[in-house]
Amino acid sequence: MPNAALARLKSRFARIGVLGEAAGMLHWDAATMMPDGGGASRGEQLAALAGLSHELMTAPVVEEDLEIARAEGPWEEANLALMARAHARATALPTDLVEATARANSACEKIWREAKARADFAMVRPALTEVVRLQRETAQALAAALGMDPYDALMDGYQRGVTAADVEPVFAAYEAFLAYALPRAEAIQAARPAPIPLPGPFPVEIQRSLCRKLSERVGLDYDHARLDESLHPFCGGTPADVRLTTFYDPQDVSKALLGVLHETGHGLYERGLPETWARQPVGDAAGMAAHESQSLIVEMQACRSDAFLTFLGGELRHAFGGPAEAWSAANLARHWRHVERGFIRVDADEITYPAHVILRFRLERALIGGDLEVADLPGAWNEGLHRMLGITPPNDAKGCLQDIHWHDGAFGYFPSYTLGAMAAAQLMKAARAATPDLDEALARGDMGPLLGWLRANVHGKGSLLGFQDLLRAATGKPLDPADFTAHLTARYLTA
């Protein structure tokens, strides 16, 4: 019976969703609280959960039910299509490969932590080589089953419907813009007064309290969220139990504060997903580029706007004291919209950040395609960054060891960051057009109008629409990088 088949599928995918949530919590714990000696055991736990999920997804009854199930209405139809997509990806991979990949990723990620601290790529190279080998095997298997290029098959796992061929012209156009924009932004910045130093130090306890207060002010409900510390800030957990992490520097309040606002954007997206479709594919976020758009519309578009900085300066002065001019919106803008060629992606400004992503996109594509070997990664990284930004990392901690992604098996993820930044600018333009008093609200620290628009046009849509169709519905057009370069021009290139 079609209805019975659909009910069985929904029940099975709900169980798979629960296993995914459990794995997410184990990842969060590994990054925040797990003792160093727990790594091997954690790898086995994650491998077991990955294997169980894979077995549930690939059981013969799933294919049988997919063939006879019939859905009514756009949400049920999209959910069934996404189930079929997930099943096709899963059946392309043998269970032993899925489990081996989970073990290798977990083991490599633990070694990476120490290797990064020591700036010693040789320490992690064997483990990363095994991760890359398994990712190549995974990509080949997916490509054969799905009729896609191997790297595209990995990208599709993070943002469905987006391929390297889609990304390449967008990135090439941005490189051309960067060649003009970066030196002009630097020249304009050099002609302006230097920023007034922010009156530190900034006690960690005060930072911790302020970060949570501002995260709540932006809209995150801490009955369903918590804030902890980790080496690499991230948002994890589940839609009902959001886990944010950051790290605190007593000499620099911006690292934790802006990081928490960024991760709060991710958390708001998770909290705004349609509860009716919880633990169903259509109830998930629309992909990682969509997710990055939500963190960046909060952090970069809203919280670093002139309007919100007016509000934020008062909050910071109240928390840390010091002269009013140090906490003025203009001075905070000089600090937090400063353009500088740097080595570290997560510290990069809006203009240079895409260069870091373009570099990683090209390197990981070459790694998966077999055109670059792991042993040659540091040299290729340094050469590529020098070509993009004219600088060379002094060591591998500031080069190819800085990110967790590859060491945790996340290949095909990086393009989502810049696609998300571009989408955030496009969405913010549409939100401002739909909400004329948006900036007045931001100046009061009121994110409600923006959050309401995002709830209706992005969060509440789940995965009903793909990335491009989501943008079309919200803004009237697919991804338009011109909105991003227009935003950068207005913010950085106007003397």
Provide the pairing of β-strand 241-246 with 235-238: antiparallel
| pLDDT at residue number 232 | 78
Six token digits for residue 108: 């490599």
Residue 263 appears among annotated catalytic residues: yes
Q: What does the alpha-carbon distance between residue 356 and residue 347 come to, in Å, rounded to a whole number?
A: 11
Residue 240 within a domain: no
| pLDDT at residue number 233 | 87
Which residues, including other chains, have CB under 8 Å from residue 291's CB and lie 6 or more apart? 266, 269, 285, 416, 420
Six token digits for residue 339: 């353009």
The tally of domains found in the chain comes to 1
Name residue 242's beta-bridge partners. 225, 237
Q: Cα angle vertex 209, ends 206, 210, to 5°?
A: 85
Cis peptide before 197 (omega within 30 of 0): no
Work out the average pLDDT over 276-281: 97
Active site residue: 109, 263, 270, 292, which one? Answer: 263
Q: What does the alpha-carbon distance between residue 15 and residue 283 come to, in Å, rounded to a whole number?
A: 14
Six token digits for residue 161: 């419907």
By C-alpha distance, which of 423, 413, 422 is closest to 465? 423
Q: What does the alpha-carbon distance between residue 295 and residue 300 come to, in Å, rounded to a whole number?
A: 8
Q: At how many degrees (to 10) do helices 121-146 and 377-389 cross? A: 80
Residue 365 near residue 154 (C-beta atoms within 8 A): no
| pLDDT at residue number 190 | 96
| pLDDT at residue number 127 | 98
Work out the average pLDDT over 245-250: 95
Q: What is the pLDDT of residues 384-430, one digit of tens each?
A: 999 999 999 999 999 999 999 999 999 999 999 999 999 999 999 99
DSSP string for 327-348 = GSHHHHHHHHT-----S-GGG-
**380 φ/ψ sector (left φ>0, alpha ψ -120 to 50, else beta):** alpha
Q: What is the pLDDT of residues 53-102, one digit of tens each?
A: 999 999 999 999 999 999 999 999 999 999 999 999 999 999 999 999 99
State the amino acid at position 15 in one-letter form. R
Name residue 227's beta-bridge partners. 244
Q: For the chain, what is the mean pLDDT?
A: 96
Query: Is the pLDDT confidence value at 495 over 80?
Result: no
Residue 195 within a domain: no
State the amino acid at position 325 in one-letter form. E
Residue 79 within a domain: yes
Residue 459 near residue 272 (C-beta atoms within 8 A): yes
By C-alpha distance, which of 312, 298, 224, 306 is closest to 263? 298
State the amino acid at position 27 in one-letter form. H
Residue 339 near residue 182 (C-beta atoms within 8 A): yes
Look up tokens 């007034």; give the residue: 196
Q: What is the pLDDT of residues 147-160, one digit of tens each?
A: 999 999 999 999 99
Q: What does the alpha-carbon distance between residue 12 and residue 418 come to, in Å, rounded to a whole number?
A: 34
| pLDDT at residue number 478 | 97
Alpha helices by DSSP H, listed for 92-224, are 95-118, 121-146, 150-158, 164-190, 204-218
Q: State the sign of the Cα–Cα–Cα–Cα dihedral 468, 469, 472, 473.
A: negative
- CB atoms under 10 Å from CB of 44, counted, come to 13
Residue 59 within a domain: yes
| pLDDT at residue number 157 | 96
Query: Is the pLDDT confidence value at 2 over 90?
Result: no
Q: Which domain holds residue 49?
A: 2-158
| pLDDT at residue number 1 | 72
Q: What does the alpha-carbon distance between residue 305 and residue 491 come to, in Å, rounded to a whole number?
A: 9
Question: Quick one: how far is CA 95 from the chain centroid?
Answer: 27
Burial of 72 (0-12, 13-18, 19+ CB in 10 A): exposed
Burial of 476 (0-12, 13-18, 19+ CB in 10 A): exposed
| pLDDT at residue number 231 | 78
| pLDDT at residue number 340 | 97
Higher per-residue confidence, 47 vs 456 = 456
By C-alpha distance, which of 357, 493, 373, 352 is closest to 121? 373
| pLDDT at residue number 177 | 98
Residue 15 within a domain: yes
Residue 356 within a domain: no
Work out the average pLDDT over 450-457: 98
Instruction: Indicate the pLDDT class of residue 431, thresholds 50, 70 and 90.
Output: very high
Work out the average pLDDT over 347-375: 97
Kindly state the helix (H) or strand (E) to which residue 240 belongs, with its residue range. Answer: none
